C-alpha cells in the first residue's frame, strides 16, 4: 500500500507524553502551519509486545469518531519502522498534571465531567468502549476544555455479547472486570467515577500495596468517603457514589435511562448541554499559557536513553511488502506475518 502522508510533511518538536505503545510529540504541519500531536509506535516493539491488533484497532476507531470532547484523528501513515497517528494538539496538558498540583472547585469539576460524560455517551452510542478512562488520558486544550484520548485498548461492543478481556489500568477498572463474568460499556462510567473521586479527594478510592489486595478490594466495591470534608457538597458526593455503584445496571449514566438520570442529577442539573457541546461555555479554569503544562522529563529520556528515535532523514514511506501466496504465508514467522498485517491494515488517512 502507499501512504498518503509522510513524516517529512511535519516539523518535529518536543515530546509531551508517553503511552503503553508509543510516545507523543508536538509537530507542525509544514504546509498548513498548524500544530498537532504525533503519536509514533515502533513496529518491532509493537510486535514484541503483541500489541499489533490494539494499534490497528485504535487507528480504525479514531477515524470513525467525531466529537468536540474527543481527540480527533487528522492523519495516519507508516514507514519502514514506525506507525504514526496525528491528532488534535491539546496544549493544556493532561488532567493528572493539573490535579497533582492543585485542587479545583466543584464548578470547575462539573464542567470537566459534563464534557467527559458527553464524550462517553457518544462513544457508547457508537458501540465503542474506551476501557481506560483516567486522568492521564484526559487532555486539556488551551481554553480549559477537556478531551478523552488514548484509545489503544478501546474496542467495539457487540449486541448480546459481553467483553471478557482483563483490559484497563488496575486502579480504575470496574469490579465486574475483576469478577471475570463479562462486562459491557458500564465500565467507563465506573472509571469516570474513580477519576472524579481522585479530583475531589486528591487520591484514588483504592490504594493497596499488592495487586491481589487491589483486585479484592475493587471486587468488594466498598469505598471510604471522608465524612469530615466540608469542601464536598452532597450533590458532588452523590455523583461520585452514582458512578461508583457496584451494580453496573444501576450505575449513573448506564442503560437506556442512564443519560436522562445523569442530566437530571443534582450535580449536573445546572449544565446547559446544548451550549456545552457547542463549546460556548467559557471554562472558569484555563491552563497557564506562559508555562509548560507537560512533564519535561520526556524529552530528556529520548535524548539520553532511547535508541529508537524518529527522524525525517532517509526514511522510506513503506517497506516493500513480500508477495506471498496463501500457501506460502504459512511458512512465514510471526514477525513477518505481523509486519504484513500492519502494512495491509494500518491504512493511511488524511482529513483534509
Cell of 164: 471478557
DSSP for 268-319, written as a single string = TTT--HHHHHTT-SPPS----TTS--S-THHHHHHHHT-S----STT--S-P
Q: Is 39 labelled as part of a ligand binding site?
A: yes
Q: Decide if 151 contacts 20 (C-beta within 8 A).
A: no
Question: Look-up: residue for cell 519502522?
Answer: 81
DSSP for 52-117, written as a single string = HHHHHHHHHHHHH---TTB--EEEEEE-SSEEEEEEE--TT-BHHHHHTT----HHHHHHHHHHHH
Longest dimension (CA), the chain: 70
Strand partners, 235: none
132 flagged as catalytic:
yes
Q: Decide if 177 contacts 168 (C-beta within 8 A).
A: yes
Among 132, 141, 188, 338, the one annotated catalytic: 132
| Whole-angstrom distance, CA of residue 183 vs CA of residue 174 | 9
| Residues 6 or more apart whose Cβ sits within 8 Å of residue 287 | 91, 92, 93, 98, 140, 142, 144, 293
Helix then strand count (H, E) for the chain reads: 12, 10
Q: Decide if 99 contacts 198 (C-beta within 8 A).
A: yes
Expressed in angstroms, the distance from the first to the final Cα of the chain is 20
Query: E-strand spans in 107-255?
Result: 128-129, 138-140, 146-148, 155-156
Known binding positions for ATP = 39
**Catalytically annotated residues:** 132
Amino acid at each position: 500500500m502507499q501512504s498518503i502522508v509522510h513524516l517529512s510533511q511535519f516539523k518535529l518538536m518536543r515530546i509531551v507524553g508517553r503511552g503503553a505503545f508509543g510516545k507523543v510529540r508536538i509537530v507542525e504541519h509544514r504546509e498548513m502551519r498548524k500544530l498537532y500531536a504525533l503519536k509514533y509506535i515502533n513496529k518491532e516493539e509493537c510486535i514484541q509486545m503483541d500489541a499489533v491488533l490494539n494499534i490497528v484497532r485504535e487507528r480504525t476507531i479514531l477515524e470513525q469518531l467525531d466529537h468536540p470532547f474527543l481527540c480527533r484523528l487528522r492523519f495516519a501513515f507508516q514507514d519502514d519502522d514506525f506507525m504514526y497517528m496525528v491528532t488534535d494538539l491539546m496544549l493544556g496538558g493532561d488532567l493528572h498534571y493539573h490535579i497533582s498540583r492543585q485542587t479545583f472547585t466543584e464548578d470547575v469539576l462539573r464542567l470537566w465531567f459534563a464534557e467527559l460524560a458527553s464524550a462517553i455517551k457518544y462513544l457508547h452510542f457508537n458501540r465503542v468502549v474506551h476501557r481506560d478512562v483516567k486522568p492521564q488520558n484526559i487532555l486539556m486544550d488551551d481554553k480549559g476544555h477537556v478531551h478523552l484520548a488514548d484509545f489503544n485498548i478501546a474496542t467495539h461492543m457487540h449486541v448480546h455479547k459481553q467483553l471478557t478481556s482483563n483490559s484497563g489500568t488496575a486502579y480504575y477498572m470496574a469490579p465486574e472486570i475483576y469478577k471475570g463474568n463479562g462486562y459491557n460499556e458500564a465500565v467507563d462510567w465506573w472509571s469516570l467515577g474513580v477519576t472524579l473521586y481522585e479530583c475531589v479527594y486528591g487520591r484514588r478510592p483504592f490504594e493497596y500495596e499488592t495487586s491481589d489486595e487491589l483486585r479484592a478490594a475493587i471486587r468488594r466495591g466498598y469505598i471510604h468517603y471522608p465524612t469530615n470534608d466540608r469542601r464536598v457538597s452532597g450533590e458532588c458526593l452523590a455523583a461520585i457514589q452514582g458512578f461508583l455503584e457496584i451494580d453496573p445496571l444501576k450505575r449513573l449514566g448506564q442503560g437506556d435511562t442512564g443519560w436522562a438520570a445523569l442530566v437530571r442529577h443534582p450535580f449536573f442539573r445546572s449544565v446547559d448541554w446544548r451550549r456545552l457541546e457547542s463549546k460556548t461555555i467559557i471554562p472558569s479554569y484555563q491552563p497557564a499559557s506562559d508555562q509548560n503544562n507537560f512533564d519535561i522529563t520526556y524529552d530528556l529520556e529520548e535524548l539520553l536513553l532511547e535508541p529508537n528515535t524518529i527522524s525525517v532523514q532517509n526514511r522510506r514511506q513503506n517497506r516493500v511488502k513480500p508477495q506471498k501466496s496463501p500457501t506460502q504465508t504459512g511458512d512465514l514467522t510471526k514477525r513477518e506475518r505481523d509486519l504484513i498485517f500492519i502494512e495491509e491494515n494500518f491504512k493511511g488517512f488524511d482529513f483534509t
